[in-house]
Amino acid sequence: MYPEQLVAPMRTDLTSAGFAELKTPEEVDNYLKDKKGTTLLVINSVCGCAAGAARPGVKWALQSSPKKPTNLATVFAGVDKEAVSKAREYTLPYPPSSPSIALFKDGELVHFVERHHIEGRNAQMIGQHLVEVFDEFC
């Protein structure tokens, strides 16, 4: 588990962009279960690909896309272990991956971006991909 003072700026990176932070399994269930509309869930991480590509790419997509998810949420891998475990139940059959980005429509997982799709790509590439995903599902 990472110390809170280390991850606080990484949490703020998404919460300041309007993401609800889910820290417990109950919060994850309450937020995701039977949710209407589209929900973007970012499984955040301290790694470099989260800082350099995932978080900035997600924010770029939300600023650039004419279509946007209705709901925004995040959990933090390596910090809020139980919340992340619960979130990963919703992203099955995909294996655990962080960072990662999930899009749900009316409670059903419709798109998932795994870590290996984030690594080696820049923020704009991630963002452009998400814009296309939002255009299809939102």
Strand-strand pairing, 38-44 and 71-76:
parallel
Cα–Cα nearest to 58, from 135, 136, 128: 128
Cα–Cα nearest to 133, from 116, 109, 115, 97: 109
The H-assigned helical ranges of 16-120 are 25-32, 48-49, 55-64, 81-90, 115-118
49 is catalytic: yes
**10 Å Cβ neighbour count for 136?**
12
Active-site residue (options: 32, 47, 61, 77): 47
**10 Å Cβ neighbour count for 132?**
13
Q: Distance between CA 33 and CA 7 in Å, rounded?
A: 27
Active-site residue (options: 40, 42, 43, 49): 49
Residues with catalytic function: 47, 49
